[in-house]
Amino acid sequence: MTIRRLPYGDVRLGELLPWDVCGDNGALLVRKGYVPTSDGQLDALVARGFIDDPDYRDPVAAVAEPPSVVRLLNQALTALEPLLQRIAAGGGAVQAELEQVAALVRAAVDVNPEVAAACILHNQQAASYTVRHCIDTAVVALIVARAIKREPAEQQSMLLAALTMNVGMLQLQDERGLLTDAERSLVRAHPERGIALLRQAGVQDPVWLDCVLAHHENEDGSGYPRGLAGDAIPCPAKLIALADRYCARVSTRPYRKPMLPNAALRDILLEARHALDAQLGAVLIRELGIYPIGTYVRLLNGEVGVVARKGLNSTTPYVQTFIGPRGAKLDVFLQRDTRADLSAIRDVLSAEQVDATFRMDQVWGRAALP
């Protein structure tokens, strides 16, 4: 018998439950095949439910389950690195292989966009910053593009551009210190160098190339390389720029600590006054939430946990707590609805301030299996 708490990622509205669900005293709550039809029913199940799941960590036995978002993104990370190196070295055609990487990213967001967003904060050791940042940017840009209903063909070109946006400065991405003046000049030139390398690799898609060229342009014309402004900047390039800046801020770098996710979004709002598209910035915050998925928080009741999924509005997400009010690690994760007074968010915490670790699948279920 393998008893475990029912995580968010294992049950969705309108979907059959594949197990009997019991309370912590063993009493049956609902039988296998039950279909939750409201947020209230879903919340009650996750708050109180335990299941006997002998196949939990056996992917062979669970062949019918959706694929793990973490695995899909890790496959994308593994596949992307040699492709970028090949482009940077002036190698041959890679578009078909890059399209396969884009398909993995798209599949991850299809399975569970919240887990895909959580990977930005909790899967940072999976690859070098150079590669991981491109995947993270693609995930966020895709989430926002879908929210504003951009055409699928444009989304595809945007994904490919996000994956290759920095190929023109590949050697600088993992620098462990501040850049020299010469290196900063290379950074300023990387959009133009990037599209030259992509053309050499056989890329002809104008949207893809335009996005790589324009992803550092600013709304007020202060960006580079061409000083474009406003509507002269392609919309998918604006989406990449938003995602690029957010993901860079929340990522650990050798020379600086990551920003807290809510502070990174606050910066985005400030930049939307001049550098970024204000309407797209608002959509980004709406989709990620004021407290993005994966953010560490302390609640008013003293418990510490992680934002697990969006709530009814951007300021009241659902949190899974794993540290009690007195600082002791809890035996089980507890769901907290931050709309409740005592469960309201008091503070946002950095990883260094949280004296405990957890596996992503403990919070997000099978969709986050490593």
Closest CA to 351 of 290, 261, 266, 278: 261
**Position 172, amino acid:** L
pTM of the prediction?
0.82
DSSP helix/strand/coil, 85: helix
Whole-number Å distance between alpha carbons of 43 and 364:
14
Residue ranges of the chain whose pLDDT lies below 70 = 1-10, 24-25, 39, 50, 52-65, 173-177
Q: Three-class SS string for 149-183?
A: CCCHHHHHHHHHHHHHCCHHHHHHCCCCCCCCHHH
Whole-number Å distance between alpha carbons of 258 and 272:
21
Whole-number Å distance between alpha carbons of 68 and 110:
11
Contact 126, 73 (CB under 8 A): yes
Contact 326, 298 (CB under 8 A): no
Whole-number Å distance between alpha carbons of 134 and 323:
33
Q: Which token pair is 334?
A: 């507890």
Residue 24, pLDDT score = 65
Measure the N-to-C terminal CA separation of the chain; round to a whole number of Å: 22
* Cα dihedral 305→306→308→312 (10° resolution): 80
Mark out the alpha helices in the chain (DSSP H runs).
Answer: 39-48, 69-88, 95-111, 113-122, 129-147, 152-164, 181-200, 206-214, 235-250, 261-271, 278-288, 360-364
CA max distance for the chain: 68
Q: Tell me the per-residue pLDDT of 293-318, one tens digit each, with 9 for 90 and over.
A: 999 999 999 999 999 999 988 899 99
The CB density around residue 137, as the number of other CB atoms within 10 Å, is 28
> Dihedrals φ, ψ of 314, to 5°?
-75, -10
Residue 16, pLDDT score = 76
Burial code (b: 16+ CB inside 10 Å, e: under 16) for 18-37 equals ebbbbeeeeeebbeeebebe
Provide the phi-psi class of 335: left if phi over 0, else alpha when psi is between -120 and 50, else beta. Answer: beta
Q: Quote the Cα angle for 279-276-107, to 5°.
A: 70
Residue 285, pLDDT score = 93
Contact 135, 80 (CB under 8 A): yes
Contact 14, 6 (CB under 8 A): no
Residue 256, pLDDT score = 82
Q: Tell me the per-residue pLDDT of 144-161, one tens digit each, with 9 for 90 and over.
A: 999 999 999 999 999 999
Contact 190, 183 (CB under 8 A): no
Sign of the Cα torsion 55, 58, 64, 67 reads positive
Residue 276, pLDDT score = 92
Which domains, from first to last, does the chain contain? 3-52 (no CATH), 69-288 (1.10.3210.10), 296-368 (no CATH)
Q: Whose structure tokens read 């039809």? A: 37
**Position 12, amino acid:** R
Whole-number Å distance between alpha carbons of 80 and 26:
47
Provide the phi-psi class of 2: left if phi over 0, else alpha when psi is between -120 and 50, else beta. Answer: beta
